[in-house]
Chain A
Amino acid sequence: EAGVTQFPSHSVIEKGQTVTLRCDPISGHDNLYWYRRVMGKEIKFLLHFVKESKQDESGMPNNRFLAERTGGTYSTLKVQPAELEDSGVYFCASSQGRWAGETQYFGPGTRLLVL
């Protein structure tokens, strides 16, 4: 069974440009999460989808970030316009259930560098 995949693996853009990150969860996983890790800091939650609905988007930093999950399959995270502080590694994860002990399966991450 394929794991969580993310595209691209790396992205280098200039301040003010737009970048779109993609995540393909494990097939059959209704729950999809986005996280971000800024260099050396904690992994921070961004948002959580259940199927195509946003269950919790309390971690989204501001309205420059837009996440979608049309059809409840893959998800995209768009940053527009990108700022220097958006640099970091963006992780996607998926899970079947959503209880406290549930295992989340993570993708390899997208390394974003905004210059």
Chain B
Amino acid sequence: GDSVTQMEGPVTLSEEAFLTINCTYTATGYPSLFWYVQYPGEGLQLLLKATKADDKGSNKGFEATYRKETTSFHLEKGSVQVSDSAVYFCALSEGLSGGSYIPTFGRGTSLIVHP
């Protein structure tokens, strides 16, 4: 079945440091890939997505590129801020019979950014 593997957290960085959160996946077909973010006390929000190979999703300074050859979708940001402290979830989805999809999530990676 489908699965998503994220790097273990927490990831602790100083403000303005470079961020990488690794995400690899296993899928039976050709999935869409997502990064969701959950800020403290809030629900998950879509951060970015990519629906085909070599697409790059980007938002709020974060980027991730859909790498089919390495089945990866690593999240990067050049300079993190304290306000980026949150839990980040990598997810995939692919069409199932009947046309519905149910996303598969990773375990989440907690990011803590210190001033």
Contacts and interface: CB of A to CB of B under 8 A. Distances in A.
B100 A56 contact: yes
Interface of A: 3-4, 6, 33, 37, 40-45, 48, 50, 55-56, 59, 91, 93, 98-109
Contacts of A3: 43
Nearest to B92: A100
Given A56-B100, A91-B44, A108-B42, A100 B105 contact: no
Secondary structure call for the B interface: loop
Contact of A4 (B36, B43, B51, B106): B43
Interface residues of B, number: 28
A55 B100 contact: yes
A100 B101 contact: yes
A15 B44 CA distance: 28
Nearest to B96: A56
Contacts of A100: 31-32, 51, 93-95, 101
B89 A43 contact: yes
B46 interface: yes
Contacts of A107: 43
